[in-house]
């Protein structure tokens, strides 16, 4: 994972500084969404020079997508501590997705800012975006559990996480109510896992 490799090369002081920068960006996003996250403002809030900020993150989009990668990695760690509940794969997947969705809905401005960064960055943050998709797929694969056809399980998990991302994008764009996220995911999971 690109972000993990970057983090591994940093000294403890640099890691804390990088974390402080991401936390400052997320605070600003919580206060005013995507537009509130300006690199100069982030640098001031994190108490770092603007040049230092740019050494860690090449753009606002890179910064917010990196913060999203950290949040997804944190979600995976929490799910390892508190595994999904359910009688079957579909129930476990929906438990994971509902818990994750609720966490994102608690901070709509932050979620909107991170998702806007995903779609507005072009290929600039592809190296940071790839691990997010891989982590989310791994989370869904873990919830599905062992199956005879491991390759099929990975494809199913990828489709589910793409539908989830799409539903989140419609919600943050104001084109669908929050309740529609669960409805779309329920239908998708039923089609793919309750055959």
Q: Can you give the residue ranges of every domain in the chain?
A: 2-193
pLDDT in tens, 18-49: 999 999 999 999 999 999 999 999 999 999 99
Phi-psi region of 86 (alpha: psi -120 to 50; beta: other; left: phi over 0): left
pLDDT in tens, 56-100: 999 999 999 999 999 988 888 898 899 999 999 999 999 999 999
Mean pLDDT score of the chain: 89
The architecture of the domain spanning 2-193 is Orthogonal Bundle (1.10)
- How many other CB atoms sit within 10 Å of the CB of residue 5? 10
Phi, psi for residue 11 in degrees, rounded to 5 = -75, 165
Instruction: Compute the distance between CA of residue 129 and CA of residue 79 in angstroms, rounded to an integer.
Output: 21
Report yes or no on whether pTM surpasses 0.95. no
Question: Measured in whole angstroms, how far is the alpha carbon of residue 137 from the centre of its chain?
Answer: 11
């Amino acid at each position: 994972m690109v972000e993990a490799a970057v983090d591994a090369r940093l000294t403890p002081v640099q890691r804390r500084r990088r974390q402080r920068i991401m936390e400052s960006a997320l605070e600003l996003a919580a206060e005013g969404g995507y537009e509130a996250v300006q690199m100069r403002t982030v640098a001031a809030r994190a108490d770092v020079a603007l040049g230092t900020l740019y050494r860690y993150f090449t753009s606002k989009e890179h910064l917010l997508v990196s913060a999203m990668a950290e949040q997804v990695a944190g979600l995976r760690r929490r799910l390892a501590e508190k595994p999904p509940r359910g009688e079957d794969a579909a129930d476990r997947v929906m438990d994971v997705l509902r818990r994750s969705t609720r966490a994102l809905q608690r901070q709509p401005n932050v979620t909107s800012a991170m998702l806007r960064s995903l779609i507005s960055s072009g290929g600039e943050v592809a190296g940071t975006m790839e691990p997010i998709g891989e982590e989310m797929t791994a989370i869904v694969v873990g919830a599905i559990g062992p199956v005879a056809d491991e390759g099929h399980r990975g494809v199913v998990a990828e489709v589910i996480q793409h539908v989830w991302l799409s539903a989140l994008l419609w919600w943050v764009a104001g084109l669908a109510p929050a309740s529609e996220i669960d409805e779309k995911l329920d239908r998708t999971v039923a089609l793919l896992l309750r055959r």
